[in-house]
Structure 1
Amino acid sequence: MTNSSSKTTLTPTKTWIWQDYPICYQAEGDTGPAVVLVHGFGASWWHWRKNIPALAENCRVYTIDLIGFGASAKPQPGEQMHYTLETWGQQVADFCREVVGEPAFLVGNSIGCIVVMQAAVSNPDIALGVALLNCSLRLLHDRKRATLPWTRRVGAPVLQRLLSIKPLGQFFFNQVAKPKTVRKILLQAYANAEVVTDELVDILTAPASDPGAVAVFLAFTSYSTGPLPEDLLPQLPCPAIILWGTADPWEPIELGRELGNFPQVLKFIPLEGVGHCPQDEAPELVNPILQDWISERSIVINSAKLEA
């Protein structure tokens, strides 16, 4: 199997103009089906650096920075851009049409899972299949808040209101964006502390200094509406698989397993002892699963085309 080390040389990033804004993306691989990888909140295409080489052995792999994150543009929330899951879903769908040029396998992590499902549901023609890695359960959503312990049920809205006060929001972001704080957060999210390297911390903190980064962060922390995974899964126009790190402290696997009951989900695969970002923490587990899934689905799709 291809070495998953982040030292692997990757091709330079490219720029795609979407709604007049520059979007950063990376493309690797010359043959095979198209695969689009979508990061979670606060991350970027670099969060897939350990997966790209392995998948590019037999696929054309595209990784994209969602607008507001990574090296993509960060226009002002509300005035110039609405940072919603519907917006990001449409961005991914347009990317498949304008850059990839054909339907693709969509792979997401955390909030990126909701984004790829939204893209597939709203644009059925662009998705061959969907892989969800520790899907965000959106437990602070307005429709789910009543199920939370009272401390979180009451505390979250209060925090959201406080962060909406610009000076307080700016101060909070500046504290969270510090490398020391980011490392502490990652050590919660990752079960294997050795994976939380200086490189990973740099990947997540570097975009925080970009103009507009604070506003995007605060816009999303106040976002408690939009689609839930259980809204989108029954509407999926293609099959899905779900991978879930059992040691995820943010998205409990007990709740995640319920998503595996939807008919569209072909497989629910627990990853023992892995945290919230399995593609980065355990690429040696994730890469073969994705490779096999893409290969199996490609055979099914090609056979169906021949019979048609």
Structure 2
Amino acid sequence: MTRAKRRSSRSKKGNHNAAHSTHPKGAATPKRAKGAGTPASPAPATKAPSHTNKGGTKQATANPKPAAKKVTNSGGAVPLPDAVAAPRHDHVTQDGVRINYYVDGPEGGRPLVLIHAVNAAPSTYELKPLFEHYCATRRVYALDLPGFGFSDRGDRRYSPQLYSGVIADFVRRAVGEPVDAIALSLGCEFTSGAALREPDLFATLALISPTGFSERNLPNGQGQLAKWLHKALSVPLWGSRLFSLLTVRPSIRYFMSKSFVGKVPDAYIEYAYATAHQPGAHHAPLYFLSGQLFTTAAYGELYSKLTQPVLVIRDRDPYVGFERLAELMADHPNWTEEQIAPSCGLPHWERLAETAKVLDRFWAANSAQPEPEPEPEPGPAPAAAPSVAPTPADPEQAP
């Protein structure tokens, strides 16, 4: 090999090494976290101005024109976009559980808090139509419950007590004032539990297709059978495969088609698929599948004890029975029911205008604003007291 050719060979070798290393010689290469994917490069967003609410948590003020959805790659198989186009924040409960929430809309009235359902792939997206409708006129908060969305998905014990405690903590410490709450399906049980913990902070409850009213007695969710079933489902050999089968697009579409009268929106399927393919996505759903997230006696332990005004919105739901609802309403005048038909568990997706009308009527009947006290009718003016000279206590003081 000639000298010129040797120089050319060394030059190409040096360029090859440079192309495969971005660190100087001798520098440590940072290690990627286990299970982490390649971070996405979202477009820079303008930071919204912040304010401090009554609970002491800093939050961004509402944007009149929210920015485009951010897409985050949290190490999952697919990137996860924001469920709604609104500022997104974290709240850490006093027990150390980190939850994600969205907030938007003008302040001034009673805040609205939205709680999604629980299934294999739930998130705030389930309540997206209600969030977008009401954030134009009032302050709206929407939570990703632990194990879902952008909230902590750690391998912990998930239970009704965990969820009701998280919701109560959020309203008490992040919102800091009484709220109207809307919950969906199994989220209704968790929200009712939170309202029993903090009755003064939940002014009204609107429950869309709530669980817990079926005549069939559920097995004890905290019993040995449920715990054994969860242990069996958690075996990686088949537990992960079962979850994978439940969260492929055709499976999601099949199960969601039962909750829609018409066609399931493609965007709904895509978001459910994305949120179900994030790290730790299987932990909470396996507790759901084993029955441990249901309150066995929700009728007596939760619903019958509520003292707030409660609205039930329902029609027919292939996953939920309402046989005992009439029985409860007969003995509890604080409960009302509205049927929005035809719907199959998600009326706010297919009949939003009717759902909003029902909600607005319920809130108007249970307004937070006290009625003005009537002004007293004018009466006759009191007679003036006669002028009497004071009597001196001592004769020597007389004039």
TM-score bin (small chain):
0.7 to 0.9
Aligned partner of 1:175 in structure 2 is 245
Give the alignment of 1:81-230 within 5 angstroms.
Answer: 82-137=157-212, 141-142=218-219, 162-192=232-262, 194=263, 196-224=264-292, 226=295, 228-230=297-299
SS at match of 1:261: helix
Q: How far apart are the structure 2 equivalents of 1:277 and 1:37?
A: 14
Aligned partner of 1:4 in structure 2 is none
Are 1:108 and 1:133, in contact at CA under 8 Å, matched by a contact in 2? Answer: yes
Q: Which moved more, 1:58-67 or 1:257-266?
A: 257-266
1:106-147 residue CA offsets vs partner (Å, 9 max, x unmatched): 110101110110000122122101111100137572169xxx
Aligned partner of 2:312 in structure 1 is 242
Are 1:35 and 1:61, in contact at CA under 8 Å, matched by a contact in 2? Answer: yes
Distance 1:21 1:159, change over 3 A: closer
Residue identity matched to 2:103: A
Residue identity matched to 1:34: P
Say whether 1:25 aligns with 2:101. Answer: yes
Are 1:236 and 1:264, in contact at CA under 8 Å, matched by a contact in 2? Answer: no
Aligned partner of 1:150 in structure 2 is none
Structure 1, unaligned runs of 5 or more: 1-6, 145-153
Aligned partner of 1:278 in structure 2 is 347
TM-fit CA distance, 1:53: 2.9
Structure of greater Rg: 2
Are 2:206 and 2:310, in contact at CA under 8 Å, matched by a contact in 1? Answer: yes
Are 2:211 and 2:321, in contact at CA under 8 Å, matched by a contact in 1? Answer: no
Are 2:178 and 2:201, in contact at CA under 8 Å, matched by a contact in 1? Answer: yes
Aligned partner of 2:55 in structure 1 is none
Residue among 63, 66, 72 paired with 2:142: 63
Residue identity matched to 1:105: D
Are 1:85 and 1:227, in contact at CA under 8 Å, matched by a contact in 2? Answer: no
Q: How far apart are the structure 2 equivalents of 1:264 and 1:227?
A: 24
TM-fit CA distance, 1:256: 4.2
Say whether 1:36 aligns with 2:106. Answer: no
Are 2:217 and 2:296, in contact at CA under 8 Å, matched by a contact in 1? Answer: no
Structure 2, unaligned runs of 5 or more: 1-68, 70-82, 375-399
1:36-62 residue CA offsets vs partner (Å, 9 max, x unmatched): 110001311121111123223432111
The sequence identity of aligned pairs, in percent, is 23
Aligned partner of 2:87 in structure 1 is 12
1:155-197 residue CA offsets vs partner (Å, 9 max, x unmatched): x9997675243322111100001011000101112222x2x11
SS at match of 1:88: helix
Q: Which of the pair has the greater relative contact order for Cα pairs under 8 Å at 6+ separation?
A: 1
Q: Which has the higher helix share?
A: 1
Are 2:117 and 2:186, in contact at CA under 8 Å, matched by a contact in 1? Answer: yes
Q: How far apart are the structure 2 equivalents of 1:265 and 1:143?
A: 28
Distance 1:238 1:291, change over 3 A: same
Distance 1:249 1:44, change over 3 A: same
